[in-house]
Amino acid sequence: MSDDRQLVRVADKAALATVAAEQLLAQVDANPGRVAICLTGGSSPKQLYELLATEPYRSRMPWERVHWFIGDERFVASGDPLHNMTMAREAFLDACAPPSNIHPIPTDGIDPDACARRYADELQAFYRADRLDPAKPLFDLVLMGIGPDGHTASLFPGFPAVEVRDRWVVGVDHAHVAPFVPRISLTLPALASCRKMLFEVAGEDKRAILTRVLSGENLPANRARSEHQTVFLIDAAAWPENFRDQPDV
């Protein structure tokens, strides 16, 4: 696999959120029509989400034409502290986005597989097709993170979900890291169908796993690539030692 990923070093977590917000808005501005953004859970994006609810970002976002999806969800009820979309809703979506433009993964089904099928149906209805076309990305932007084991979304190393190519969304019956609850996740092909994939990586505790990902180790976070552009935003604390000469943004 050729490595055409762009690595961008920023000074700290605050700068990471600011640069991510600018890149997100740039992708929105590049599409004058209906925009689709795929959010991520975890701790890394929360500062970005809170920033989007403040000025000047709130006024710059054309909320009426931007639709918000999410790359994975924990199989817990909406409102639960572990629920990824609840975090995003509380941080900015409920205050800013039209309710009809918010597309959470359902977690009220009998099992993760049933919820995965329902979300796949919703994505395909939005996309107006049941097969992905490289010339027509599903998302304008996909936000991603990296877990301590190299997982991304809820695609864990060595789990069957990583290899799924014939579905857009899968159920994951258990997690490799805490919290140990079942998940629903978009697959690598669905995540790849985007104009830009933007990883946010922050904190010294991420440096070791980021080094493994960037060295080409067979980890889900290394295999997740946009069909168009993939960018890693990395704060100085997480920046691998062998890339120390990169200037800060």
Contact 91, 53 (CB under 8 A): yes
Residue 246's pLDDT band (boundaries 50, 70, 90)?
Answer: low
Quick check: 23 pLDDT over 70? Answer: yes
| pLDDT at residue 50, rounded to an integer | 97
The Cα–Cα gap between 143 and 199 comes to: 6
| pLDDT at residue 242, rounded to an integer | 75
What tokens does 43 get? 């701790």
CA distances 139 to 76, 167, 168, 239, Å, are 25, 16, 13, 28
| pLDDT at residue 143, rounded to an integer | 98
| pLDDT at residue 121, rounded to an integer | 98
Exposure on the CB side of residue 135, measured as CA atoms within 13 A = 0
Stretch among 28-32, 40-44, 46-50, 221-225 having the lowest mean pLDDT: 40-44
Strands (E), the chain: 6-10, 35-39, 66-70, 72-74, 139-144, 169-172, 183-186, 194-201, 230-235
Report, as an integer, the average pLDDT of 121-150.
97
The Cα–Cα gap between 218 and 216 comes to: 6
Q: What value does the mean pLDDT of the chain take?
A: 94
Cis peptide before 179 (omega within 30 of 0): yes
pTM, two decimals, is 0.95
DSSP β-bridge partners for residue 232? 7, 199
| pLDDT at residue 249, rounded to an integer | 63
Report, as an integer, the average pLDDT of 35-40.
98
**DSSP class of 93:** I
Contact 87, 50 (CB under 8 A): no
| pLDDT at residue 1, rounded to an integer | 44
For 181, the 3-state DSSP assignment is: coil
Q: What is the pLDDT of residues 165-223, one digit of tens each?
A: 999 999 999 898 888 899 999 999 999 999 999 999 999 999 999 999 999 999 999 99
| pLDDT at residue 57, rounded to an integer | 98
Q: What is the pLDDT of residues 91-131, one digit of tens each?
A: 999 999 999 999 999 999 889 999 999 999 999 999 999 99
Quick check: 3 pLDDT over 80? Answer: no
Amino acid (one-letter) located at 149: D
| pLDDT at residue 72, rounded to an integer | 98
Contact 142, 38 (CB under 8 A): yes
CA distances 227 to 32, 131, 191, 205, 223, Å, are 21, 15, 9, 29, 12
Residue 42's pLDDT band (boundaries 50, 70, 90)?
Answer: confident
Residue 147's pLDDT band (boundaries 50, 70, 90)?
Answer: very high
The Cα–Cα gap between 103 and 70 comes to: 7
| pLDDT at residue 244, rounded to an integer | 58
Contact 249, 15 (CB under 8 A): yes
